[in-house]
Amino acid sequence: MNRAKTRVTVAGVILTVLLFIAALITIVPFIWMLLSSFAPNSEIVKVTGGLFPAPTTVDNYVAIQERFDFLRLFGNSLFIAIVKTVIIIYTSAVLGFVFAKMRFRGRNLLFGLVMSTMMVPWAVTIIPQYEMMTRFGWLDSYASLIVPGMLSAFGVFLFRQSITGIPDELIEAAKLDGASDFRIFHRIILPMSRNTIAALAIFTFLWNWEDYLWPFLMISDEKKQLLAVGLKQFNGQYGTDYGGLFAATSLAIVPVIIIYVIFQKQFIAGIASGSGK
């Protein structure tokens, strides 16, 4: 009896250790990047010595700020990503509510149409949208980044899935109390969708934070440029300043990881509840 128990425990410990090794291998690129961002160039390109350069200096961060005003790019990206995330969460929740709990002619057809847009490649719409923005005179303005991206079919899908699970009785009761749909949405539906909001928030923030092509096409003013595009430009101009590149890349990655670590629990619950089930 005791022996069997010990064997199970040992197996568990071994399995856990193996999985931790795999997990460590998974995040090694991040560790390497972060350590390198605090190392001088000579240390990074050194062929001999350990795998990881020793972190000794913050010069790389100071340098990229002086040469490229990275904080400004960072701020611009933060602004755009937050604004779009808030808008998309709101529109997705409203439409998720409409598709989950309201009845109207053509509802399923419309929902199917919204879902099928997930299949439309960016390559199809980007040229006409580019032309449209040019004609609107929105080049170099943030309207061109925000307005065409205010809806997310993926978001509507996630919210419809989770709102369907909210009992009708709850909504009925609120109605009998004289609550309008507007009020029901804000007082009942939104507060009950916390996991979905967290999941969609992280994804939408990430997608806008990493979006390259659209800001690259829309924005040419350096002062308005976003981080992803700036990163590529920095690489083009200072391709051998590895320390600076590592620092710039760390600045682009670390904030997203911090947000993820904070919301991890709700986030994964939200993803799991919304997909494939």
Q: Which of residues 53-72 bind another protein (CB under 8 A)?
A: none
Instruction: Give yes or no for a contact between 207 and 80, defined as CB atoms under 8 angstroms apart.
Output: no
Which segment (57-65, 68-76, 190-198, 227-235) binds another protein by CB under 8 A?
A: 227-235
CA distance 137 to 143: 10
Interface pick for another protein out of 2, 4, 176, 191 (rule CB under 8 A): 176
Nearer to another protein, 31 or 58 (CB): 31
Using CB under 8 A as the binding rule, whether residue 109 contacts another protein is answered as: no
# residues near another protein by CB under 8 A: 94
Q: Considering the rule CB under 8 A, would residue 35 count as an interface residue with another protein? A: no
Nearest distance from residue 195's CB to another protein, in Å?
12
1 contributes a contact to another protein by CB under 8 A: no
Q: Which of 40, 59, 101, 224 binds another protein (CB under 8 A)?
A: 101
**d(C-alpha 66, C-alpha 125), whole Å:** 38
Contact flag: residue 82 with another protein (CB under 8 A): no
113 binds another protein (CB under 8 A): yes
Token pair belonging to 262: 């904070």
Whole-number minimum distance, CB 59 to another protein, in Å?
Answer: 18
Structure tokens at 57: 């200096």
Candidate list 6, 29, 54, 79; residue touching another protein; CB under 8 A: 29
Assess 45 for contact with another protein (CB under 8 A).
yes
Cα–Cα distance measured from residue 74 to residue 248, given in angstroms and rounded to the nearest whole number: 10
Q: Look up residue 170 and give its two tokens.
A: 């709850």
* Of residues 120-149, those binding another protein (CB under 8 A): 120-129, 131-132, 134, 148
State the sign of the Cα–Cα–Cα–Cα dihedral 36, 42, 45, 47: negative
Identify the residue among 51, 109, 191, 221 touching another protein (CB under 8 A). 51
- Number of other residues whose CB lies within 10 A of the CB of residue 187: 12
> Where on the phi/psi map is residue 140: left (φ > 0), alpha (ψ -120 to 50), or beta?
left
Compute the least distance from the CB of residue 51 to another protein, in Å: 6
Which residues, numbered 193-212, are part of the site for another protein (CB under 8 A)?
Answer: 202, 206, 209-210, 212
Q: What are the two backbone dihedrals, phi and then psi, of residue 51, each rounded to the nearest 5 degrees?
A: -70, -35
- Which one among 73, 114, 190, 218 touches another protein, defined by CB under 8 A? 114
Choices 62-70, 137-145, 190-198, 262-270 (CB under 8 A): range interacting with another protein: 262-270
The CB-of-62 to another protein minimum distance in angstroms stands at 20
Nearest distance from C-beta of residue 48 to another protein, angstroms? 10
